[in-house]
Structure 1
Amino acid sequence: MPEHVSTLQLIGVTVLTVAGVVWALAVTRLMRRARVEAAALPALPHQPDVGPVHEYVELTPAEQDAFAGLVRRLDGR
């Protein structure tokens, strides 16, 4: 035991540490319980897993050349 620390200070630190651990465990348990209850009662309806349809636009040869030139110019950085 350190010489410059009183017995009451050591007891106080121990009590505060134990209280902190108990508090952390209680909060963790409450959060888990709330998460389980939230999963059982969803706030939003089920969302479909399908995304939007992909669009495809055919480029003209002039647009393809312009895009290739842009890529070459940006690649030179």
Structure 2
Amino acid sequence: MPEHVSILQWAGVAVLALGAAAWAVGLSRALRRGRFEAVAQMPGPVALPALPRQRQAAPDLESVELTPAERDAFAGLVRQFAEGH
């Protein structure tokens, strides 16, 4: 303990630190309690009239067979990107 710091100063620091910790705990509990109460009071999901209805299932995957020339061109692009990186 430094010589120029009195016991009262150390006690003041300790009291302030305990007060800050108690305030943080109390604030977090109050916010958590308020959030749970707000969620409990919320109605179910509301549909927005301006947005189109969402699909329930994902669309089917699509694939296209490439010609040999297209496969070669794609392989050339991949090589160019690999060399550039």
Q: 1:35 to 1:58 in 2, by over 3 A?
A: same
Q: Distance in 2 between matches of 1:65 and 1:41?
A: 60
Are positions 1:63 and 2:70 aligned together? Answer: yes
Displaced runs of 4 or more, over 4 A: none
TM-score for the superposition, normalised by structure 1:
0.67
Counting aligned pairs with the same residue, the percent is 43
SS in structure 1 of the partner of residue 34 of structure 2: helix
- Residue ranges of structure 1 left out of the alignment (5+ in a row): none
Q: Distance in 2 between matches of 1:51 and 1:17?
A: 54
Q: Number of residues paired by the alignment? A: 76
Following superposition, the deviation at residue 15 of structure 1 comes to 1.3
State the one-letter code of the partner of 1:26: G
Following superposition, the deviation at residue 29 of structure 1 comes to 0.4
